[in-house]
Amino acid sequence: MARAVTTRRKALNTAIAWTIGLLIFFPILWTILTSFKTEAVAIANPPVFLNFDWTLENYRVVMERSDYMRFLWNSVIIAGGSTVLGVIIAVPAAWSMAFVPSRRTKDILLWMLSTKMLPAVGVLYPIYLLCIQLGLLDSRIALVVILMLINLPIIVWMLYTYFREIPGEILEAARMDGASLKDEILYVLTPMAVPGIASTLLLNFILAWNEAFWTLNLTSVDAAPLTAFIASYSSPEGLFFAKLSAASTMAIAPILILGWFSQKQLVRGLTFGAVK
């Protein structure tokens, strides 16, 4: 830092930032805390914050009712599969858009984004029918493909903006040295692109993980992911805050943990060309 910052100023910044950060995080924290309460404590007035008898009862009930591991596993496969497939298809496209731009590049990009604006519910019946015809109802493959297509525009765009920040001179230099197209991609571009690709993978994994229309409507048993899991807890009879919290915590915990561990990578590439 060029300027000397007083400790007091730093302390003040820290205090404000922590307060706001905790405020934003609070709903999640409260959900996690509530998941360890009994139903009666969960609605107590005044609310109980930490000094209650912690119980795992809600988790026991949820685990007994649903095969959590199966839902989790499906979520991992569907989100992971669609993201990886998407990136495989998008990398070459984004590469060529970034390094061999034409007049239409921008139009193609915007067109790709506009495909995301079609309301999904209007085509539920035909897509459902197509899945029946192809025998793909309740299969992970169908969801992998559909979620890939839904997120592909974002993937292409993210990679394109990232690739564009890679200075062209380096490529020129490599070409001068006689590098082939393959070498160029493999040894020059790829290492530089890894952070952007990692970030793209993460963002789209999150988006796919949280997609709740197709994952709910095209599955029943074998391919049902966590979005279907949570759909069975949303309005049971009687008091349910604690059980809902437990189910919610279980549904978001994996992605939350992944997100936290990888947030550096996520943030690094998450610019969409905002920084120039």
Partner 1 sequence: MATQHSRAAARFMMAPAVFVLLVWMLVPLSLTLIFAFKRFMPLRGDRIESGWDFVTFFPSLDWVGFDNFTRFVSSSAFWPSVVTTLVIVGGVLAISIVFGVLLAMLLDQPMWAQGFVRILVIAPFFVMPTVSALVWKNMFMDPTNGLFAHLWRAFGADPVVWLSDVPTFSIVLIVSWQWLPFATLILLTAIQSLDSEQLEAAEMDGAGPVSRFAFITLPHLSRAITIVILIQTIFLLGVFAEIFVTTGGAFGTRTLTYLIYQRVLESQNVGLGSAGGVYAIILANIVAIFLMRIVGKNLDK
Partner 2 sequence: MSLKRVLGASTALTLIAGASLAQDTTITIATVNNGDMIRMQGYTDQFTAETGIGVEWVTLEENVLRQRVTTDITTNGGQFDIMTIGMYETPIWGANGWLVPLDGLSEDYDVDDILPAMRDGLSHDGTLYAAPFYGESSMVMYRTDLMEKAGLEMPHAPTWQFIREAAAAMDDPDAGINGICLRGKPGWGEGGAFITVTGNSFGARWFDEDWTPQFDQPEWAEALNFYVNLMNDYGPDGYENNGFNENLSLFQQGLCGMWIDATVAASFVTNPDDSEVADSVGFALAPNSEGVDRKANWLWAWALAIPAGTQQADAAQTFIEWATSTDYIELVAENEGWANVPPGARSSLYENPDYIAVPFAQTTLDSINAADPTNPTVDPVPYVGIQFAAIPEFAGIATEVSQEFAAAYAGQQTVEEALEKAQAITTEAMEAAGY
Per CB under 8 A, which of residues 90..149 are in contact with partner 1? 90, 92-93, 95-97, 99-100, 102, 106, 108, 110, 112-127, 129-130, 133, 149
- Nearest-approach distance from CB 266 to partner 1, in angstroms: 8
User: What single-letter amino acid sits at 69?
Assistant: M
Q: Which of residues 220-259 bind partner 1 (CB under 8 A)?
A: 226-227, 230-231, 234, 240-241, 244-245, 248, 251-252, 255-256, 259
Residue 95 interacting entry, from partner 2, partner 1, none, C-beta within 5 to 8 Å by type: partner 1
Q: Which pair of structure tokens corresponds to residue 28? A: 């999640």
Would you count residue 206 as binding partner 1 (CB under 8 A)? yes
| Residue for token pair 């919610």 | 248
Q: Which of residues 58-77 bind partner 2 (CB under 8 A)?
A: 65-67, 69-70, 72-73
Determine whether 35 is exposed, middle or buried from the number of CB atoms within 10 Å of its CB (0-12, 13-18, 19+). Answer: buried
Return the residue of 3, 49, 117, 125 that touches partner 2, per CB under 8 A.
125
Return the residue of 38, 139, 210, 265 that touches partner 1, per CB under 8 A.
210
Largest Cα–Cα separation, the chain: 74
Would you count residue 178 as binding partner 1 (CB under 8 A)? no
The answer to whether the beta carbons of residues 68 and 62 sit under 8 Å apart is yes
Would you count residue 170 as binding partner 1 (CB under 8 A)? no
| Residue for token pair 């966590």 | 226
The answer to whether the beta carbons of residues 203 and 86 sit under 8 Å apart is no
Return the residue of 152, 197, 224, 246 that touches partner 1, per CB under 8 A.
152
Q: Which is nearer to partner 2, 113 or 129 (CB)?
A: 129
Q: Which pair of structure tokens corresponds to residue 264? A: 């550096």
The answer to whether the beta carbons of residues 213 and 143 sit under 8 Å apart is no
Residue 145, number of CB atoms within 10 A of its CB: 16
- Nearest-approach distance from CB 169 to partner 1, in angstroms: 13
Q: CA neighbours within 13 Å on the CB side: how many for 184? A: 19
Would you count residue 221 as binding partner 2 (CB under 8 A)? yes
C-alpha torsion angle, residues 259, 254, 39, 229 (rounded to 10): 120
* Cα–Cα distance measured from residue 92 to residue 47, given in angstroms and rounded to the nearest whole number: 54
Size of the site for partner 2 (CB under 8 A): 32
CA quadruple 250, 271, 110, 160: dihedral positive or negative? negative
Site string for partner 1, 49-88 (x = CB under 8 A): ----------------------------------------
- Nearest-approach distance from CB 167 to partner 1, in angstroms: 16
* Cα–Cα distance measured from residue 80 to residue 209, given in angstroms and rounded to the nearest whole number: 8
Q: Which of residues 128-157 bind partner 2 (CB under 8 A)?
A: 128-129, 132, 137-138
* Cα–Cα distance measured from residue 245 to residue 243, given in angstroms and rounded to the nearest whole number: 5
Residues that bind partner 2 (CB under 8 A): 39, 43, 65-67, 69-70, 72-73, 124-125, 128-129, 132, 137-138, 216-217, 220-221, 224, 228, 231-240
